[in-house]
Structure 1
């Protein structure tokens, strides 16, 4: 397949490199210092499953540089979705399928505002991978899974073709017949993991071991389930307890990308995680006090380290989380 990966960070860099290593024609869109480093030395992915290297010529600086891909993988931070959707529109109008492996439950709604009807597949990724330094992505652990599918339709030829590419690349992948539910199931877990590890400033092992923060973790996820069910998503009422049990199986040192961004003073996806639960809940009349509190606690950091900005970003950050 001709695959364009927009965003060469943890998700896009890891899965794109694995697909490229298996023989797919993969082009990455990157920017800033990451782009400069890849152009100089290529992209390196360090993983317990084996190191991968992508040549420098596989990266371009703009979506407009892409040449008729069969599939566009969106793997940018959520605040860039609107801008990327506008840029990708000509490719989708030319027949390219688009699948987002971003976090959150609002990503595909944003994409569909700009892309042709039917161009968007739903997707979720399960991987712990981050940019360690410009040009280098590090994969933690061995989990590396993709689930994707058509909205409201049976598995399509394009979904099956992408599945074949993933399996040939050694990626744990499957097509889902109810991708909206799958996206929400990941969202419930991610809201819990990101919100609690960031608010507590500790990995999941610390969060789940303390009675108070363990209760917080469960209730944050339970609120997300309640919001999803109110929106008509077929989530089991006890799904939060199931995810809490799943959290007990995770490596104690596991954290979230939002916690990683918080530690490094980067912008947070807060407004699309706990902030989104609070916002959606308010519109539906569903109480979400735990997620609202997390959104408020982390609000000063939503646009990055407030100390680095001299405190100037606090007001804007608060607005972003609401």
Structure 2
């Protein structure tokens, strides 16, 4: 299977490197600066599951190539529009598009660009980042990528994907209910990213406080209320399940959004918290904790933009 990974950052670079390690036909679509860096240093991963060094196949959006069987999108949500334009030349009639973005709003954008049939569902759970030299640092026991047909069917093409992923030194899981999985991940990451970034703290110190416990519980209830109002395929009791999951996390765990904020980078708040806040307003739902978190993130973005424009 001919696989194109869009981006060679902390997520796409990690899972792409694991596929390369196995011997799969993987190409990375990258910006010119990242291409030059990888040509000089190679793709390097330092992981609790074993380090990797590879010389990957690299292309940029200006290069000409044949269509790929599978295109994996691992960009941030605010980079999606550019990524869609970049991959159009590489998506053929039979190409599958597998997004690993947080949230769900990106699915409609991809369907609009490539058609209902092309887009399959996906998500991932991993804690990884790039260091100053461009090395991928992966530190958590979890390194899971979940994928599947959005219809839930085990089609011939999705079984070919399964075969390509099988035997890789990461947890690639075929799901028969990927839509629900994506919404459940959306619930978890919106709560986790919102609370840690707004509080400027890892999850542990927040959970040590009784007020922190109540704030997280209320936020999860608000998010579930919005998701229920818009007909999301979430299961009963998911708020409590995610509350327990958050309480089981390592106390030093930070969300990727918090790490981005610490680096003065853009945030995915529009795509995550903003999407649900917009729907809450449309359904006239009271979501005071979500509004408070959104306000904090919006103020961060204003300050960041003001500084960058000086």
TM-score (norm 2): 0.93
Residues 300, 306 of structure 1: 8 Å contact kept: no
Which residue does 1:295 correspond to in 2? Answer: 294
1:141-190 per-position Cα deviation (integer Å, ceiling 9, x unaligned): 12011111112241122222222222311221222222111101001110
Q: Secondary structure at the match of 1:145?
A: strand
Residues 270, 302 of structure 1: 8 Å contact kept: no
Q: Secondary structure at the match of 2:166?
A: helix
Structure 2 counterparts to residues 77-96 of structure 1, below 5 A: 77-96=76-95
Whole-Å Cα distance in 2 between the matches of residues 67 and 142 of structure 1?
36
Displacement after TM superposition at 1:111 (Å): 0.5
Which residue does 1:36 correspond to in 2? Answer: 36
Where in structure 1 are there 5+ consecutive unaligned residues? 313-322
Structure 1 130/30 Cα, relative in aligned 2: closer, same or farther at 3 Å? same
1:264-306 per-position Cα deviation (integer Å, ceiling 9, x unaligned): 1111111111112101222233332211211111113237735
Structure 1 64/281 Cα, relative in aligned 2: closer, same or farther at 3 Å? farther
Structure 1 179/64 Cα, relative in aligned 2: closer, same or farther at 3 Å? farther
TM-score (norm 1): 0.90
Structure 1 27/147 Cα, relative in aligned 2: closer, same or farther at 3 Å? same
1:113-138 per-position Cα deviation (integer Å, ceiling 9, x unaligned): 11123000010101111112242111
Whole-Å Cα distance in 2 between the matches of residues 32 and 266 of structure 1?
20
Where in structure 2 are there 5+ consecutive unaligned residues? none
Structure 2 counterparts to residues 67-106 of structure 1, below 5 A: 67-106=66-105
Structure 1 range deviating more: 133-142 or 179-188:
133-142
Structure 1 283/209 Cα, relative in aligned 2: closer, same or farther at 3 Å? same
Which residue does 1:258 correspond to in 2? Answer: 257
Structure 1 156/218 Cα, relative in aligned 2: closer, same or farther at 3 Å? same
Structure 2 counterparts to residues 224-243 of structure 1, below 5 A: 224-243=223-242
Which residue does 1:185 correspond to in 2? Answer: 184
Which residue does 2:194 correspond to in 1? Answer: 195
